[in-house]
Amino acid sequence: MKRLRIEVRGIVQGVGFRPFVYNLAVNLGLSGWVRNHSHGVSIEVEGARTDRFVSELREHPPELAQIDEVDLREIAVENNGGFRILESAEEDSPFALVPPDIATCADCYADFTSAANRRYRYPFTNCTNCGPRYTIIQDVPYDRPLTTMSAFPMCEACRAEYSDPADRRFHAQPNACPICGPWVELWRKGELLAARDPAIREAQRLLAEGAIVAIKGLGGFHLACLASASACDRLRERKRRSDKPFALMARDVEVVKRHCEVPGEASRVLRGPRRPVVILNRLRGGTLPREIAPGNNTLGMMLPYTPLHHLLFDAAPYDLLVMTSGNLSEEPIASRDEEARERLENLADYFLLHNRAIQTRADDSVVRLYAGRERLIRRSRGYAPLPVDLGSPQVEVLAVGGELKNTFCLTHGRYAILSQHIGDLENLETLEFFEETLAHMKRFFRVNPRGVAHDLHPGYLSTRLAQAIPDLPRIGVQHHHAHIASCMADNRVAGRVIGVALDGTGYGTDGAIWGGEVLLCDFAGFERLAHLRYVPLVGGDAAVREPWRMALAYLRDAGLADTASLAGEPRRRVAAAMLERGIRSVPTSSCGRLFDAVASLAGLRDSVSFEGQAAMELEAVSEPGPAYPFEVDDLKAPWQIDLRDMIREIAAGGEAASRIGGRFHATLAAAIVKTCEMARETHGLRRVCLSGGSFQNVLLTALVQQRLQAGGFEVFLHGRVPANDGGIALGQAVIASEALKSGEPGVTAPGAP
C-alpha cells in the first residue's frame, strides 16, 4: 500500500488523458486524483497496484498523447477513498504543450452519419479523440472557458456526457450538439440564404453546379469548387494564381487511387489523424484536367478532416473538390467572417460560414512521402504546435525565421516549438499574422526569451522585426548554417557534420547570394568548404521570375558565343549588356537558379509564376541518364563546384528535355558526393546532413542519399520539420541557444553589399 505523486509532461491535454487516467485508476482499485495544470498533468494514486498504474501509463497512453517526461515520488498515504478529476490549476511559472487539431475519428463519423443519433448530420461533432484544439485555445490550461467554445454553454445532455468518466466525451472541451453548439449559415453578398443543415445541402448543390464557395473550416477558409477545367480556370483568374497547383479533397482513399499512385504508407498518412495534403504521383493516362496542377506529374490530395467536409461529400454527385487556401496570392489564409467577406468577396460566389470563432489560423499541412516516411513541406494544421524534443535543455530564445515560407520558433526547456506556416513576409497582412501568432504562442508556452535569432539578410522583414525587439541580444545566423542546424536538431545529431544546403537564396557572409553550399558545421559555427561556382544574378529579383536570365549568365560563364548574339529581343539585349558591364549582377551560387538555367536551356520554361516552378517541371520530365562532366576545384578555399562543361554539352543541343533533366540531376548528385568524399578525406567526417528547398526534389534526394550511403556515409534528412525555409527557424534557435550558453551573443547582420 503506497501513494505516488506523478507529474506528466508532454502532449497530455486535449487528448483524453484525464479520462484515461481516471478509468485506469478505477479499474486498478486505486484512489487519488488527476488535474490539469499549466505545465502538464499532476496525478496522485494510492493503493496496492500503483506500480501497474505507472507501467500502463508509460506504455499504453491514449493514441494522441505524447509523453515526454514522467516524474514520480512516493508520498504519505492518506487513506482517502475514490478517484476524482480536480479542477484545472494555473501556476506562476507554467509550461504546457498544446495539442494540434485532429481529424474526425471513426466513432464521431458513425455518430453524425447515423439517422438514429442525436448528432445526425451535425457538422461540429467531436470527442476527446478528435476535433479542434490549437485553433480554438485562447490560453492554458486547456479547459472550455479558455477556448472559443466558451460562447456555447452545454445543454443537459452534453453536460452529462462531459461529466461521465465512462463516456468518450468526458472532458472533451469542444463538446457540442445541434441544441447547444455552433451552426453553419450560407450567405451570398450580405444575404442569408440558409442555416444549419439546409445550408450544407444547398452549398453541396451549388458546388455541383460549378459555383466557387468559401468554406470556413478548422483553421481558416478554403475556396472550393469542382475539379473541372472551367472551374479551375475561373478560380485561378480570381485568385491571381496562374500556374501554382491546387490541392484536392477526395471523398475517400479509393477515389484518390483512381487518379494517383497510393503506396501503403501514403494511404496511412491520408487516413491518419493529421490529414495533410499528400503529394502523390499521377497515374499515367489520368483523366483529371491539367488546369489543376499545370506542368506537374504530381497531385496534392487530402481527405475530409471535419464533419462539415464529410457532409459536403455525403451523397454528392462529385467525389473530388478543389480545396485551396482562402486567400489572394501571397496573403495569409482568412480566418474571421468579416475578414473573409472583405478579402474573398471577389473570389467566392457564396460563403458557408459558422459561428465558432477561430482563435489561431492554420493552413493545411503538406507532406511528400520518401523512403517510407512522411517529409513535411508545409508544417501547419495537425502538426503545429507539436514540439521538437531536442533531448537537452535550451536557453529560451525566439527565432524569427526567414522571408519565404516563414515560421518562427520558441524554445523552452528541452523543446523547440515551431509556429504553424505563416507564409511569405511580403505584405502587411502576413506581418500581422506573424505578430498575432507570436503573442499567442508566447502566452501559451510562457516563454520569456533571453535572445532573438534572425537571418543575416538586412532587408528581410523578419530581420527588421528582430531588430525592433528591445532589450534582447540579437544573434544573426547565416541562412545555410541554419538549414544544416535545423536538420541536425530534427535528427538529434550533435557534433560536427558535413552539411549540404541547396536552395534558392541565402545571404552570404561575403555579400553574395549563396544557395549551393557544402559546410563543415556544428551548432557553434560553420566553415564554408565548397560551393557552386559563382555566376551573376542578372537583374536581381527579375532573374528569379525569368529563368532565361540565368541561362544567359551560365552560357556567358561557360564562354559560349557572345551573350549579345544569344539575346534576340530588346530585354535580352539589355540583360546581356548588364552582364558585360556588371550592372545589377550580384554573384550567386544558388542551386535554385541553376535549376532555372537548365530548365530554360532545355526549352521547358523561360518565365515562372511561383517559386520553384521551373525546378518542379524539370524534375517532372526527367528520365535516367549518365552524368555530364564536371570538376571540383580544390586549389583554394572554399572549393568550387564547376559545372561549365555540363552547360557546354547542354548548349550543344541534340538532347530532349527529359534527357537533359535526368543527366543534370545525375551530375549535381555526383558533384555533391564527390565533394563530400573530398571533405571526408581532408576532415575525417562521415555524417552528412541534407537541407534546403532543393531537397524537396525526390529525384535529387534519392540520387544523393543512395550514392552517399553506398560510399559509407551516414545521411540525415528532414522529417519533423521542412527542408525548405519553413524549417530554418529551428536551426536559428539551436544556434542562438548555443551562442547564449557560451556567453557569446553571436554576430550582427553585416551591411548590404
Per-position DSSP letters for 199-252, written without gaps between them: HHHHHHHHHHTT--EEEE-SSSEEEEEESSHHHHHHHHHHHT-SSPPPEEEESS
Predicted pLDDT of residue 572: 74
Answer yes or no: are the C-beta atoms of 256 and 250 closer than 8 Å. yes
pLDDT digits (tens, 9 = 90+) for 677-704: 999 999 999 999 999 999 999 999 999 9
Please give the share of the chain, as a percent, with pLDDT higher than 70. Answer: 97
pLDDT of residue 719 exceeding 70, the answer is yes
Cell numbers found for residue 596 = 532555372
pLDDT of residue 747 exceeding 60, the answer is no
Element (H, E) at 484: helix 479-490
Domain locations in the chain?
2-85, 184-354, 389-490+727-741, 500-716
Predicted pLDDT of residue 95: 65
**Mean pLDDT (whole number) for 195-214:** 98
Predicted pLDDT of residue 579: 79
Predicted pLDDT of residue 580: 77
E-strand stretches of 242-358: 247-250, 277-281, 298-302, 320-325, 350-354
Distance, in Å, from the CA atom of 625 to the CA atom of 661, rounded to the nearest integer, reads: 9
pLDDT digits (tens, 9 = 90+) for 470-504: 989 999 999 999 999 999 999 999 999 999 999 99
Predicted pLDDT of residue 749: 35
CATH class of 184-354: alpha beta
Predicted pLDDT of residue 753: 26
* Cα separation values, 730 from 400, 411, 696, Å: 9, 9, 18
Residue bearing the bigger pLDDT, 693 or 287:
693
Architecture of domain 2-85: 2-Layer Sandwich (3.30)
Distance, in Å, from the CA atom of 557 to the CA atom of 563, rounded to the nearest integer, reads: 10
**Mean pLDDT (whole number) for 587-593:** 97
The chain-wide mean pLDDT, for the chain, equals: 92
Distance, in Å, from the CA atom of 224 to the CA atom of 204, rounded to the nearest integer, reads: 10
pLDDT digits (tens, 9 = 90+) for 620-660: 999 999 999 999 999 999 999 999 999 999 999 889 999 99
**Confidence class for position 568, pLDDT limits 50, 70, 90:** low
pLDDT of residue 82 exceeding 80, the answer is yes
Predicted pLDDT of residue 243: 87
Distance, in Å, from the CA atom of 413 to the CA atom of 397, rounded to the nearest integer, reads: 11
**Confidence class for position 380, pLDDT limits 50, 70, 90:** very high
Contacts of 706 (CB under 8 A, 6+ apart): none
Q: Which of 9-23, 141-155, 439-453, 528-542 has the lowest mean pLDDT?
A: 9-23
**Confidence class for position 746, pLDDT limits 50, 70, 90:** very low
Global confidence as pTM: 0.92
* Cα separation values, 136 from 47, 149, 150, 304, Å: 38, 7, 10, 19
**Mean pLDDT (whole number) for 353-368:** 96
**Confidence class for position 543, pLDDT limits 50, 70, 90:** confident
Predicted pLDDT of residue 562: 52
Predicted pLDDT of residue 750: 33
pLDDT of residue 33 exceeding 70, the answer is yes
pLDDT of residue 561 exceeding 70, the answer is no
pLDDT of residue 290 exceeding 70, the answer is yes
Predicted pLDDT of residue 744: 56
Cell numbers found for residue 199 = 445550408
Per-position DSSP letters for 61-91, written without gaps between them: --TT-EEEEEEEEEE------SEEEPPPB--
Structure letter (DSSP) for residue 260: B
pLDDT of residue 228 exceeding 90, the answer is yes
CATH of 500-716, one of 3.30.420.40, 3.10.310.10, 3.40.430.10, 3.10.129.10: 3.30.420.40
Distance, in Å, from the CA atom of 699 to the CA atom of 147, rounded to the nearest integer, reads: 44
Predicted pLDDT of residue 577: 76
**Confidence class for position 252, pLDDT limits 50, 70, 90:** very high
Is the fold of 389-490+727-741 the same as that of 500-716? yes
Architecture of domain 389-490+727-741: 2-Layer Sandwich (3.30)
Predicted pLDDT of residue 748: 40
